Amino acid sequence: MSNALEIPGHLTRVPGNGGLLKTKVETPWSHAEIYLHGAHVTHFQKLGEPPLLFMSAASQFTEGSPIRGGVPIIFPWFGPRDGFPAHGYARTSTWQLTETHLLPSGAVTLRFSLPSTDALHVEFLVTVAETLHMELSVTNHSTVATQVETCLHSYFQISDIAAISITGLEDVSFTDQVASLTHQESLPIHISSEVDRVYTDTRATVDILDPGFKRTVRIEKSGSDSTIVWNPWIEKSKRMADFGDDEYPHMVCVESGNVAGNAVTLGPGEKAVLGVRVSSF
Ligand code: BG6
């Protein structure tokens, strides 16, 4: 294991679950962990607060399988695709950690690169500080236009699904993937059954109001026109081998990306950057 990118007292590289390599980051405000497998942020916690990201205790940590929880990177397609892995291959690929920096502010940045045989160059930049900032960039080095879907599929830890509300998506049109219809609502979201909604044409900041943890989690984004809200609820949880039957009350996914009608077309030489900042107060 190369330690060249370690920053004493701030960034170490250690074997994680399943022997997969992970990077542990410490800043004056927070702790984080990021696996090379999927360039997957599995942990972000502000000092004195419960973790901001949910991780399933049933998650697998093996080559070829996605990690359940944290922030899976969805690329180059979102959802199922005949004959190919759901949500693309980025979350099951081993990325390279190419750069690390300790900034004068005390923030730590890490740059990951997705080894690829095609002409798309994909990088993931993570900045750990008082907030967690993530940036997924895709550059088309080929001579033809190509279309991709991107998404940072963030799982948030919450005190209780019955107590939280989600604001920011009022009056935004969404496809309800459970009922297979398109809809919109004017009130904050309260979850009391399976929810799988793809909101399109929205750049809105989303807040998760969590009275149990006495905090609001804020998800701000840039370069993103879609937001997905997902909770598997009871029956789907039972069908998922890598998710505990009783974990659904403690998580909600608010995912930021560009999917379905918001897929990004990149001409030769063009670059698209999807940014997400997670904060709490
Ligand atoms: C969400 C999708 O983004 O991811 C859901 O909208 C899906 O339909 C969920 O069930 C989890 O997907 P996976 O492939 O990680 O089980």
Residue 185 known to be catalytic: no
CB 106 within 8 A of CB 179: no
Q: Within 6 Å (CB) of ligand 1, which residues are found?
A: 66, 86-87, 153, 177, 196, 228, 230, 255
User: Is 31 an active-site residue?
Assistant: no
For residue 246, is it left (φ>0), alpha (ψ between -120 and 50) or beta?
alpha
Structure confidence at residue 3 (pLDDT): 72
pLDDT for position 50? 97
Catalytic residue among 37, 153, 220, 247: 153
| CA 147/CA 167 separation, integer angstroms | 30
Q: Which amino acid is it at 93?
A: S
Which pLDDT belongs to residue 77? 98
Q: Check residue 216 and give its pLDDT.
A: 98
Instruction: Measure the CA–CA gap between 160 and 130, rounded to whole angstroms.
Output: 24
Which stretches in the chain have pLDDT values below 70? Answer: 1-2
For the chain, the structural domain boundaries read: 11-280
What type of residue sits at position 113?
S
CATH of domain 11-280: 2.70.98.10
pLDDT computed for residue 1 by the predictor: 45
